[in-house]
Chain A
């Protein structure tokens, strides 16, 4: 009986594979691996909007699949293999922790094209892409520095990886331009998504005198706590104004759609190649939600800062960047830190009165 079942299963699999091949000839099959649920209103939700835009623009030229709630690390390998095995031509793995598994699977499936978000390991069939979120963080820092009356900002951080650390540094560098004595309290929650814990961290920060909250986690919980406490907050990943109409100052919006459309078109045209894409405000991969709940002069300053970053006149990590130890950080990029230094950032700048966990 068991054997019969297995034969049946094998037959079903073969049938499924054939079916896939039949459609794969004329359609581009695109797969997505998501970290959270598509309804998280944060990181994963924005990737999902990007996928939907791809479907809308390319219509029946693409067929897309997504797997949500895929844990980072070795566990994700199975999911990536599953997409590669089922005839997907282009696979986006959308979180930092998928880096090594993606690289491993990319080597096993040389004909499949892979794109990994926010990582730095590439292969001939594996490209990387990310947003220059630190540009938005810098603007948030400027606004927060102006808006804080207590002079203490609160930061809910996820994991001590370079992307998060560069965001923290960009924030305080921006804030220091308007208030040199600004303080930043940082809480690491060691999760990307746990609304309860994010809310607890937000409450802890508010209880300790923070009056502007920012977060590098994915749910709107902190925004809601800030609204209850009558302090200000910045949204994350998407426009969270709905959760804090009188609270949100602005929000960094991750705008992946145009990139997904572009890469799918390249794959369809046969011009896709492994690249390292790192776009910011200028290329509109990073957008700022409307500047709200602030006086006109702060709004004008925020808009000016944004314009200067877009024009290339202002770089958040312009040299000299002073480290926590008071020493100047080596300026590899000429006028500012180079991409490698920002993407691999593992130090705090001067003015942050804390240590990176585990360092």
Chain B
């Protein structure tokens, strides 16, 4: 395996959890809900995903456990913000704290246990193609799911009536409500979907990335996913670019160090974040300095009055 090939495989692995979590959050935010609890749902997905895989010996069951855990936590968020109209920012932050704590409790018994990492696709002939074989046909299921997921989200949001309604709810919930769309119900599905994605992203970490569970192993990836949604200006295509850019910079800086290029590592570590800030500024300028291309109702509470 050549170095370039190895680097690309590492980049794909580093980008996948970010893409999965961010894709879900993109849908949530497009429906007008800001769920800052991605980190908490991810770590819950990691703990429960590992538990599921360890108990059953199946990566697939583990992934389902992860999705279920993320959804369960996002349901709590939905009850608070949609049902009780609680402030979304506060509820999201609380969700993260809850998730981190609860996952430590659930995962405590599994620390130090080992599982078989997620199997990688193997197709005769195709996987063996030099250079591109392993990259295209030798990944684990999470990678293919993440790509399919974003493609599906793009299709749904931009090409279907359902997607149009969801965007309408996110842009102006009062009008959508007046037109007779069930705003809260649509948002509930969006939030649950986002929770499932975050849970799956979390499950990827102990099931495929580093096959063991340790409390706090998401190490801030949920927050990066949140930043990526803004970075993508809420467009699925840009989200893929952003996630892979982020993954690429974080892997390439490690290789640059190992080559001894002599660039300060602190600067290299900051690069992905710096890139995010720069892109945000560019996007903001491109929209005439008014900045936001965010869904207009993002983060605002909706209480149907009639």
Residues of A within 8 A of B (CB): 36-37, 39-41, 69, 154, 160, 185-191, 193-201, 203-205, 207-208, 210, 219-221, 224, 242-243, 353-355, 357-358
Contacts and interface: CB of A to CB of B under 8 A. Distances in A.
Contacts of A188: 257, 265-266, 269
- Chain B interface, >50% SS class: helix
A243 B233 CA distance: 41
Contacts of B265: 160, 187-190, 357
A185 B260 CA distance: 7
Contacts, number: 114
B104 interface: yes
Contacts of B215: 37, 39-40
B59 to A, nearest CB: 16
20 contacts: A37-B214, A39-B112, A185-B258, A186-B257, A187-B254, A194-B220, A195-B205, A195-B210, A196-B209, A203-B6, A204-B257, A205-B258, A207-B6, A207-B10, A208-B3, A208-B259, A219-B210, A219-B214, A242-B112, A357-B266
Contacts of B104: 37, 39
Contact of B219 (A160, A197, A354): A197
B214 A208 contact: no
A187 B108 contact: no
B14 interface: yes
Contacts of B100: 69
Nearest to B221: A196
Contact of A242 (B7, B107, B114, B251): B114
Interface residues of B, number: 39
Given A208-B3, A242-B112, A195 B217 contact: yes
Interface in B203-243: 205, 209-212, 214-217, 219-221
B264 interface: yes
A197 B269 CA distance: 11
A253 to B, nearest CB: 15
Nearest to B2: A207
B260 A39 contact: no
Contacts of A200: 10, 13-14, 250-251, 254
Q: Which 6 A-B pairs have the closest CB atoms?
A: A188-B265, A37-B215, A194-B219, A39-B111, A204-B254, A207-B6
Contact of B214 (A189, A195, A357): A195
